[in-house]
A and B are shown apart, each in its own frame.
Chain A
Amino acid sequence: MTRARTAPVLIPALLAAATLLALAGVAFGSTWIPIENVAMVLVGLGDATQSLIVLQLRLPRVVIAILAGGAVALAGYLLQRVTRNELASPSVLGVVDGAALGVVIFLAAFSNESNALILPIAFQPLAAAIGALAAIALVFVLAGQQAASAIRLLLFGIAVAAVAKALTTVLMLIGPIYRTNQAARWIAGAVNEISWSEIVIVAAALVPLVILTVAAARKLPPADLDEISARSVGLDLPVFRILIFILAALLTAAGVAFAGGIGFVGLMAPHLARLALGRGVYTGLIGSFVLGAMMLVGADLIVRVAFAPVEVPAGTVTAIIGAPYFLFLLMRKQRNDG
């Protein structure tokens, strides 16, 4: 309750910090562009070279980082709420690896010898969505009657993730070499080399998904209860849970379709949002999106500044920070349960 009251202060502060981080993400790079010049370019008054760098090279990766980080964080928030488990996230439940497998199959199946896709690139998010949905459906089918148990669900999720990862590796090893490199970078989560046309595809997919998320938010509080109590107050929890899983899978697919397998953002962002902002659904959704966006923009900034000129995928940074965070949560949970 006390944390909920701090939300009106914290959310504007978060948004301000996110804006600064996004501007820094545009300003830093192989050449430094002062913030005021960035602002000039954004309002259409910059010089030609700086306009090219800002608009064609840096802004797209910042924008895709915001969209992808935010979308995956929203998916994580939904999953953590309906499974009543802070360890749930798109990567833990196998959704990210399912999407990865979908994309790798897509790249392998629809490329010709000259390394060009024979289908429009707009189909890539569709492939990711099919992979993500297949993974989450498989987790549900395997968990069967035990799907109500959050821990069982997580265990089957981890198993499905492992299988999807193995299949992805096999496909990359037997696939054409020129695709392997691209797939490897994609899987690690790289936000460079993103074009505006790809961003438009992601944004077009996200708009309806975010609207659905906001519409579903009203039903999240009764979903905090056990199944019988939730049904007693009029929420058909088993059906609602499946709808939320589908929504989370689609959000994840839209997020990772071009940005790749960004690890652990979907775990950390919603968890931190809940710690900072409390149980409120709308503040939790906004907080998760903003924190997820900041994490990926920040991670991309780190790889650009720390590892230049080598382009290290931003997903490696989120994974390096996220994996210990996951272990910390796991150990804390074990202590609490024991």
Chain B
Amino acid sequence: MTDNRITVDALTLGYGKQTVLNALSLPIARGKVTVLAGPNGCGKSTLLRAIRRLHRPASGRILLEEIDIAKLGHKDMARQIGLLTQSPSAPEDMTVEELVRLGRYPHQTLLQPWSAEDGRAIDKAMAGTGVAHLRERALGSLSGGQLQRVWIAMVLAQESDIICLDEPVNHLDMAHQIDCLNLVSQLNAEFGRTVVLVLHDLNLAARHADRLVFIKDGRVEAAGTPETLMHEDMIRNVFGVHSKVITDPVHGRPMCIPIGTAPWRKMVPVSDT
């Protein structure tokens, strides 16, 4: 057994003729929080979805433990990796409990449609995200913060030991951002889940990451602890931003204060993939 839960091996992938990931290799450690960061369009979301096998690679492979994901069944994948995408959608008249129950779909079979184990898992997921009191409510009646927690509850109910979240705190206010990421850290600490996050907020990334991965132009530019990675030259190189990095007086993590874009950096249209 290696220490790597996921191994991305020379992965090349694109949409049409445009290459998004270019021979990207990345080991992802078991039981750690790994944060993928980088400028818009660098391929971080694409990488996250490729790990969940939502994109077909042009070349290269992705291993879970020692097994190529290309060889896994749909439900087998879903029992190992839970993914929350950036803008998930479900019918507005669906209730909170109905949505969270869908997280149990990969555990169900024709002969065993719903078990006590499934019921226990959804109760636990709803309690952990603080949405148990909303279970009968329709999704359309929830606030943005509540809805996001319900979606996370669905992913937790899946009880996969890898959890991938794509910009989970986008559109959330400050209080909900903190709650949401603390919940993720707690899941990692208490249950040893392997967590992979895409975050564009560098300071949130630095606070929650065991390991930070900077991606630029479809390649891994640098990977390591936030302390080793977050320095001014690196941030200028990856993001094209002049900044000052200080130590966060509360958490002791590095903290980046952006000053301005580098004068030599030309603005080119970017597409956020």
Residues of A within 8 A of B (CB): 1, 84, 215, 218, 221-222, 224-226, 228-229, 231-236, 279
Chain B 49-81 interface residues, beta-carbon cutoff 8 Å to A = 49, 52, 54, 74-75, 77-79, 81
B85 cross-chain contacts in A, Cβ below 8 A = 226, 228-229, 232
Tell me whether B52 and A229 are in contact (CB under 8 A). Answer: no
Q: Could you tell me if A221 and B102 are in contact, using CB atoms closer than 8 angstroms?
A: yes
- Whose C-beta in chain A lies nearest to the C-beta of B106? A234
The verdict on A232 contacting B74 (CB below 8 Å), with A218-B110, A226-B88 known, is no
Contacts known (A215-B110, A222-B102, A226-B85); A232 close to B91, Cβ less than 8 A: no
Given A221-B102, A225-B88, A236-B74, A231 contacting B54 (CB threshold 8 A): yes
Q: When the two chains form their complex, are residues B98 and A228 in contact, meaning their CB atoms are under 8 A apart?
A: no
If the complex has contacts A224-B94, A279-B93, are A233 and B106 also in contact, measured as CB distance less than 8 A? yes
Across the interface, do B77 and A226 meet the contact criterion of CB distance under 8 Å?
no
Shortest 8 CB-CB contacts between residues of A and residues of B: A234-B78, A234-B106, A234-B75, A232-B83, A226-B89, A228-B85, A229-B88, A233-B105
A233 near B110 with CB under 8 A, answer: no
What residue in chain B is nearest A236 (Cβ atoms)? B74
CB contacts (< 8 Å) of B83 on chain A: these are 228, 232
In Å, the complex CA distance between A190 and B77 comes to: 50
The contact string, 1 if C-beta is below 8 Å from chain A, for chain B 83-119, is 1110111110111011001110110101001000000
Contacts known (A1-B136, A228-B54, A228-B85); A222 close to B110, Cβ less than 8 A? no
Q: Is B158 an interface residue (CB 8 A)?
A: yes
Shortest CB-to-CB span from B162 to chain A, Å, is 12
Q: Which residues of A contact B93 (CB under 8 A)?
A: 279
| Contacts known (A218-B110, A279-B98); A233 close to B78, Cβ less than 8 A | yes
Q: Bound state CA distance, A190 and B88, in angstroms?
A: 45
How many angstroms from the CA of A8 to the CA of B21 in the assembled complex?
53
Tell me, in angstroms, the Cα distance from A235 to B75 when the chains sit together.
7
Instruction: Given A218-B108, A229-B85, A233-B105, answer yes or no on A84-B91 (Cβ-Cβ < 8 Å).
Output: yes
The main secondary structure of chain B at its interface with chain A is mixed
Can you list 10 residue pairs at the A/B interface with Cβ under 8 Å? Answer: A1-B136, A224-B90, A225-B89, A226-B88, A226-B90, A229-B84, A231-B52, A232-B52, A232-B54, A234-B105
Inter-chain contact A232/B82, CB cutoff 8 Å: yes
Looking at chain A's contact residues, is the secondary structure mostly helix, strand, loop, or mixed?
loop
Q: Is the CB of A235 within 8 A of B88?
A: no
> In the assembled complex, how far is the CB of residue A88 from the closest CB belonging to chain B, in whole angstroms?
14
Contacts from B to A (Cβ < 8 Å) = 49, 52, 54, 74-75, 77-79, 81-85, 87-91, 93-95, 97-98, 101-103, 105-106, 108, 110, 113, 136, 154-155, 158
Q: Which residues of A contact B106 (CB under 8 A)?
A: 233-234
Q: For the complex, give the distance between the alpha carbons of A84 and B89 in Å.
A: 11
Q: How far is the CA of A229 from the CA of B105 in the complex (A)?
A: 12
Which residue from A215, A222, A279 sits with its C-beta under 8 Å from B105? Answer: A222
Check if B90 sits within 8 Å of A225, measured CB to CB.
yes
Could you say which residues of chain B place their CB within 8 Å of the CB of A218?
108, 110, 113
A233 touches B94 (CB 8 A): no
Structural contact, B98 and A221, CB atoms closer than 8 A: yes
Contacts of B54 in A (CB 8 A): 228, 231-232
Closest A residue to B78 by beta carbon equals A234
Nearest-CB distance from A295 to chain B (Å)? 24
Contact A234 B77 (CB under 8 A): yes
Instruction: Evaluate contact between B91 and A224: CB separation under 8 angstroms.
Output: yes
CB contacts (< 8 Å) of B74 on chain A: these are 231, 234-236
Residues of B within 8 A of A1 (CB): 95, 97, 136
The one of B49, B84, B94, B136 in contact with A279, judged by C-beta atoms closer than 8 angstroms, is B94
Q: Which residues of B contact A232 (CB under 8 A)?
A: 52, 54, 78, 81-85, 155
Taking the closest CB of chain A, its distance from the CB of B55, in whole angstroms, is 11
Chain A residues lying within 8 Å of B89, measured Cβ to Cβ, are: 225-226, 229
B181 CB to nearest A CB, Å: 20
Residues of A within 8 A of B154 (CB): 233
**A226–B88 CA distance with the chains assembled, in angstroms:** 6
**With a CB–CB cut-off of 8 A, which chain A residues contact B110?**
215, 218
Q: Tell me which residues across on chain B come within 8 A of A225, comparing CB atoms.
A: 88-90, 102
Instruction: Give the residues in chain A near B105, CB-CB below 8 Å.
Output: 221-222, 233-235
Q: How close is A284's CB to chain B, nearest CB, in angstroms?
A: 13
* Chain B proximity of A117: nearest CB distance (Å): 42
Closest residue of B by beta carbon distance from A240: B74
Bound-complex Cα distance A229 to B89 (A)? 8
Complex interface: chain A residues within 8 A of B95 (CB): 1
